[in-house]
Structure 1
Amino acid sequence: MGKKQPVVVITGASSGIGRATALHFARRGADLVLAARREEALEGLIEECEAYGSRAFSVPTDTSDPEAVQEVAARAVEAYDRIDVWVNNAAVSFFAPFLEVPLKDFNRVIDVNVMGYVYGARVALQHMRSQGSGVLINVASIVGVVPQPYTSAYSMSKAAVRALGVSLRSELLLAKARKVHVCTVLPATIDTPFFNQAANYTGRRAQAMPPVYSPQKVAATIYKLVDSPRGEVVVGRIGRSMVRQHRFAPAKVEAAMAHQVDKTHLSKKQSAEATSGNLYEPSADRRDTAVTGGWSGRRRSVQRSLLGTAALATAGGVVLRRLRG
């Protein structure tokens, strides 16, 4: 990152990846605009960012409201005169069989995870095109490439975010806007409070599916994209392997994903009452405003299993290429 510190807008900044990203930029002196629904959580984050010497302020925002997102951009430009980096990160989810999830919950996930990103992208790119430079970073997920069971709307939304990124990059290419970039980040499972906050109609407690990576790893990736923009970046070794091998053996990788979700993403031992989670109201639990969710120890056994599946997919891809050759 150059001498001139960027003006960075981050949605979903109150916890998890968003909070980690805000702190990562704050340590490097960036000017920050932090958006999320939880005002108290944002106030605490501002104090942390300012302790690093960063200028920061918050705008309580529900990103499914286009006028609220426009207000975030307006406040950023009013305070700092520009928007250099916009991180679309706010997201919600549910765990439920497709036929059992309430349709209003399904719609809510799409409203936040897809339309919220659309609203953010529109205001960000308007300013970036006008000023001649900027980086829009959309946080998607590897489930946008390899969807999983029981999170149908979330998987759909992350696939849509990938498609949005490709389409926007194509338009910028045609417009010869060479200094405006759109990047998509695809994390694997990340240690955040996200899994405690999701709606759940499975009767089983949701938990992070191993292997689990730190939110700081995603934050560092986002930071690097500002200086070295790339179209898509996968975060996490297992994520990179699954995305790569899905091209050669999609059925094998999808089957592995389905079985691992059933075995490790939903607890076999702990039950859960039906809940709409944080879909409509932010969590009131202070623990849900943290960067991490306490899942960092879940790693080795499932990693070996998934990497074994990926190895089979690799072998299949090699054989297929030889046959075609």
Structure 2
Amino acid sequence: MRVKDTVAVVTGASSGIGRATAIALARAGASVVLAARNADALEQARAECEAHGADALAVPCDVADASAVEDLAAAAVERFGSLDVWVNDAAVTVFGPFSETPLEDIQRLLDVNIMGYVHGARAALPHFRRTGRGVLVNVSSVVAAVPQPYTHAYSMSKAAINALSTSLRQELALEGSSGIHICTVMPGTIDTPLFHHAANYTGREAVAMPPVYSPQRVARAIVNLVRFPRREVTVGSVPRSMVMEHKVAPGTVERAMGVMVDRAHLSRENPAGETSGNLYDAEPGDGHAEGGWHGRRRTAVRRLATAAAAGGAVVAVRQLASRQQSGRPRLDGRTINGSTFSPPRLRRSPLRRSRFGRSTLDRIRPGRSTLDRIRPGRSPLDRARREGAGALRRSRLGKPLRRPVTQRIRDIPGRLSRTRG
């Protein structure tokens, strides 16, 4: 789809990935409708979109409210006349042990992160079906494929988003709606204010776990999905490798992820009191796309990621080797009841014979021509042997020709001169 002159709705547009995406769409020529709870930060983001020459509309909205999301879609259509792109990005997070996180906080997170996406999809799809085209982008996370400790609610909400996208794609395929696309974006750790606004019950400050990628990188991926829709995109080389390694050696990656979260996601130096963050009310103040985490301890994490990848490869090789050797008792050199066992010798099967009576070993014996080896009994040498080495070749007149062809060709000028004389 061409981004220019399209109408795009972006939720969670007051800060982070949502704000960067709205600005990127505005730069690409789209008309943007921005939605979030923080009205002041939303107006600042709208002004920044208009500074790039785009038409923009700010609509304060809580995505957990289904009627508010319906009003958001109606406002977009009323202002711009159509609806082509919908980006579900609004999300909150909670850090805390499973048994110590309040149930009401978990419920609130699921209402925003899951039901907010459901409300957005239900508001956008009727407009897409009416025009026969549209792109719905659900911003998920790499933790949907590789969950983390202490973020159980956030991890399962992102896994639910992936399942929602897959289910919607299947339904649209059955309907024959080939012009409507459902895309999922799975970024790694992004430099956003999400960690500053997070609810926290761990007693330790939540920080961005490196490597940290810029929100503009995710925004570019979303704009590219609008142009060229794809099912799923993982942003960042380390998140992509983590997803692949988890499929090969899940136990190793899960242990490594637990250590990384404990050491790099929760600060050991800075304690933090219990807080519900921005779960129920938006954080006051200006919104920003960045959270001040970009470039944090890249070298250390690259070394840790390399070690995790190497460990995953070693474990994978060991698992494959154990699977191949399973069920085969290794008795070589072992003594049981006074008897020493040695590996049994394989009995050679008799050589197969070809239809001309030659063995397989004879056919592949080195020193013979390739044609003679791979086509037994059909080479010129075999035919000459069958017809007889002293067989005479005959010309058109039926006279025997005992001389080679090259010698006969050299004699042609002499025969012609004798004929003329």
Letter of the 1:297 partner, please give it. Answer: G
> Cα offset for 1:19?
0.5
Any idea what SS the aligned residue of 1:100 has? coil
Runs of 4+ deviating beyond 6 Å: none
Question: Could you tell me how far apart the structure 1 residues matched to 2:80 and 2:90 are?
Answer: 22
Question: Could you tell me how far apart the structure 1 residues matched to 2:176 and 2:312 are?
Answer: 39
> Cα offset for 1:318?
5.7
> Cα offset for 1:78?
0.9
Please tell me whether residue 255 in structure 1 is matched to residue 267 in structure 2: no
Mean CA deviation greater in 277-286 or 179-188:
277-286
Question: Could you tell me how far apart the structure 2 residues matched to 1:186 and 1:116 are?
Answer: 17
The aligned counterpart of 2:304 is: 305
Letter of the 1:120 partner, please give it. Answer: G
Letter of the 2:186 partner, please give it. Answer: L
Question: Could you tell me how far apart the structure 2 residues matched to 1:264 and 1:225 are?
Answer: 31
Mean CA deviation greater in 304-313 or 267-276:
304-313
What are the superposed Cα offsets for residues 207-257 of structure 1, whole Å, 9 maximum, x if unpaired? 000000000000000000011111110001110000111111111111111
Any idea what SS the aligned residue of 1:138 has? strand
> Cα offset for 1:285?
3.9
Any idea what SS the aligned residue of 1:149 has? coil
Any idea what SS the aligned residue of 1:264 has? helix
Question: Could you tell me how far apart the structure 1 residues matched to 2:224 and 2:175 are?
Answer: 25
Letter of the 1:291 partner, please give it. Answer: A
The aligned counterpart of 1:275 is: 275
Please tell me whether residue 227 in structure 1 is matched to residue 215 in structure 2: no
Question: Could you tell me how far apart the structure 1 residues matched to 2:86 and 2:174 are?
Answer: 22
Question: Could you tell me how far apart the structure 1 residues matched to 2:128 and 2:309 are?
Answer: 40
The aligned counterpart of 1:294 is: 292
Question: Could you tell me how far apart the structure 1 residues matched to 2:99 and 2:242 are?
Answer: 27
The aligned counterpart of 2:42 is: 42
Letter of the 2:311 partner, please give it. Answer: L
Question: Could you tell me how far apart the structure 1 residues matched to 2:44 and 2:220 are?
Answer: 21
> Cα offset for 1:319?
6.2
Question: Could you tell me how far apart the structure 2 residues matched to 1:68 and 1:208 are?
Answer: 31
Letter of the 1:219 partner, please give it. Answer: A
Please tell me whether residue 136 in structure 1 is matched to residue 136 in structure 2: yes
> Cα offset for 1:316?
4.1
> Cα offset for 1:315?
4.7
Mark the CA change 1:177 to 1:35 in structure 2 (over 3 Å): closer, same or farther.
same
> Cα offset for 1:202?
0.8
- 1:178-217 matched pairs, under 5 angstroms: 178-217=178-217
Letter of the 1:301 partner, please give it. Answer: A
Contact 2:10–2:33 (Cα < 8 Å) also in 1: yes
Among the aligned pairs, what percent are the same residue? 55
Any idea what SS the aligned residue of 1:247 has? helix
What are the superposed Cα offsets for residues 276-299 of structure 1, whole Å, 9 maximum, x if unpaired? 00000011243xx11100001212
Question: Could you tell me how far apart the structure 1 residues matched to 2:320 and 2:49 are?
Answer: 51
Please tell me whether residue 106 in structure 1 is matched to residue 138 in structure 2: no
What are the superposed Cα offsets for residues 258-281 of structure 1, whole Å, 9 maximum, x if unpaired? 110000100000011111000000
Q: CA RMSD in A?
A: 1.6
Q: What TM-score comes out, normalization by structure 2 length? A: 0.74
Residue correspondences, number: 323
Any idea what SS the aligned residue of 1:268 has? strand
Contact 2:141–2:187 (Cα < 8 Å) also in 1: yes
Contact 1:210–1:300 (Cα < 8 Å) also in 2: no
Higher relative contact order (CA 8 A, sep 6+): 1
> Cα offset for 1:29?
1.6
> Cα offset for 1:106?
0.5
> Cα offset for 1:321?
6.1
Letter of the 2:141 partner, please give it. Answer: S
Instruction: Choose 1 or 2 for highest CA Rg.
Output: 2
What are the superposed Cα offsets for residues 16-56 of structure 1, whole Å, 9 maximum, x if unpaired? 00000011111122100000001111111111111110000
Any idea what SS the aligned residue of 1:202 has? coil
Question: Could you tell me how far apart the structure 1 residues matched to 2:80 and 2:114 are?
Answer: 27
Letter of the 1:233 partner, please give it. Answer: V
> Cα offset for 1:4?
4.4
Question: Could you tell me how far apart the structure 2 residues matched to 1:310 and 1:85 are?
Answer: 37
Question: Could you tell me how far apart the structure 1 residues matched to 2:3 and 2:122 are?
Answer: 27
The aligned counterpart of 1:87 is: 87
> Cα offset for 1:174?
1.0
Any idea what SS the aligned residue of 1:69 has? helix
The aligned counterpart of 1:119 is: 119
